[in-house]
Chains A and B, each alone.
Chain A
């Protein structure tokens, strides 16, 4: 593997300073499951790898009445081993359970998945559906952005030189709400999404009408898509097969997938509709179960 130096700072400020150094050739590393492989194949050529796992905030989980804060380097398994998080943020733990195999989940983080900004990232549609805010530290201080606008293209995002993601904040779960993520892959495990759908819905107290909804699609465009029209098709409507089908059709309509070995454009569009309906249904079931 290419030669590089390694630093493991213990504060955010120190990490920002290190990332600013080396003229842009410093890279933050959380679980390393993408980074180490990308360095090995020469896609990334860092002079300095900044291990951010020794910074306490980066590996902290804080679940409270006001919401959930997840340090950007928290490995996936810690999310689904937490019963509170699994109950309140099911879409996110659905994602965390299927990113790579168990060994990958011991290291890979939701923050890293987001920052790699792959169009098929499994946790990003869930973060969008759950209304996540990304906390970014950098030379100019800290800023917060909606996860909706974080990714800008395949492997691209809004992070500027010297910046890195510190944590992800999720709002408290609303009453009568539920969320889910599913992906379609030709295998049972260990594959890249052909289509991924994250949904969060809030129902009325009787569980009969959609009060709020957010839907996000993965792997069907150059970046994860926020399916606003699909969510609007649900809000204010009765929970019914017809309503759900309208939302599914609206999701399908915004998909602009590529043709590749995993699926054709036509197939991916079709699956977008089918999966959206299924995931909405699952989110409704979870909302009603609480």
Chain B
């Protein structure tokens, strides 16, 4: 077996060091080693977006990132989205617009939508659908998700976790 590596990262603003095998994905380490099960495993081949996290500020599917690659990197997961006990506007909007049913895809959608709103605070419906094309939902039919993101876009000011994405 390949030697385990020590990986130093900053996850949701906190310095975290962990041991992993080179073959372990970031998704696997988040869920199985660090007990951060908010990030979901869907297809495990990069198609569904359920495992979306931010790696050095960019949205990535964590099933296609080796955990060793996160050495020296900043990772943001769904667990870091609410701040000071307050839901993020996107989380609020998903609840208020009933944009989830089974909920497995939701953390990925929230992370991806957060990235979208940081890049484009006022997206059109087309912009939203295009940016979220890498996230699959088998329950909602997407309309409610699109509406939730539009709704959140208008309520983003003053949210503390928007300092950087």
Task: Please report A residues at the B interface, Cβ cutoff 8 Å.
Answer: 1-6, 8, 31-33, 36-37, 39-41, 49, 51, 53, 75, 77, 100-104, 106-107, 188-190
Contact B134–A37 (Cβ < 8 Å): no
Choice from B25, B60, B131 contacting A1 with Cβ under 8 Å: B25
> What sequence of 0s and 1s flags, for each residue 108-128 of chain B, a beta carbon within 8 Å of any chain A beta carbon?
000010010000000000000
Contacting residues, chain A, for B21 (C-beta < 8 A): 3
Residue B59 lies at the interface, judged by CB distance under 8 Å to chain A: yes
Contacting residues, chain A, for B99 (C-beta < 8 A): none
Contacting residues, chain B, for A190 (C-beta < 8 A): 47, 133-134
Task: Please report B residues at the A interface, Cβ cutoff 8 Å.
Answer: 1-3, 5, 21-25, 44-47, 49, 52, 55, 58-61, 63-66, 68-69, 112, 115, 129-131, 133-135
Contact A102–B5 (Cβ < 8 Å): no
Contact B131–A104 (Cβ < 8 Å): no
Q: Given known contacts A36-B63, A102-B112, A190-B47, what 15 new A-B pairs fall within 8 Å (CB)?
A: A3-B23, A4-B23, A32-B66, A32-B69, A37-B45, A39-B23, A49-B22, A51-B68, A51-B69, A77-B58, A102-B133, A103-B60, A104-B134, A188-B130, A189-B130
A134 to chain B, nearest CB (A): 24
Residue among B3, B45, B63, B112 having the largest count of chain A Cβ atoms under 10 Å: B45
The CA-CA distance from A104 to B45 in the complex, in Å, is 11
The CA-CA distance from A163 to B63 in the complex, in Å, is 27
Choice from A32, A40, A77, A189 contacting B65 with Cβ under 8 Å: A32
Q: A32-B65, A32-B66, A189-B130 are in contact. Are A104 and B3 (CB under 8 A)?
A: no
Q: A3-B2, A189-B133 are in contact. Are A104 and B22 (CB under 8 A)?
A: no
A265 to chain B, nearest CB (A): 27
Give 9 pairs: A residue, B residue, CB < 8 Å, sorted on A.
Answer: A32-B66, A36-B64, A37-B64, A49-B22, A102-B112, A103-B49, A104-B46, A106-B58, A190-B47
Q: A1-B23, A3-B2, A6-B2 are in contact. Are A103 and B45 (CB under 8 A)?
A: no
The CA-CA distance from A3 to B44 in the complex, in Å, is 17
Contact A107–B64 (Cβ < 8 Å): yes
Contacting residues, chain B, for A41 (C-beta < 8 A): 45
The CA-CA distance from A41 to B63 in the complex, in Å, is 13
Contact A2–B23 (Cβ < 8 Å): yes
Contacting residues, chain B, for A3 (C-beta < 8 A): 1-2, 21, 23
Contact A4–B130 (Cβ < 8 Å): no
Contacting residues, chain B, for A6 (C-beta < 8 A): 2, 5, 22, 66, 68
Contacting residues, chain B, for A33 (C-beta < 8 A): 46, 64
The CA-CA distance from A31 to B52 in the complex, in Å, is 15
Contact A37–B133 (Cβ < 8 Å): no
Contact A4–B59 (Cβ < 8 Å): no
Contact B22–A5 (Cβ < 8 Å): yes
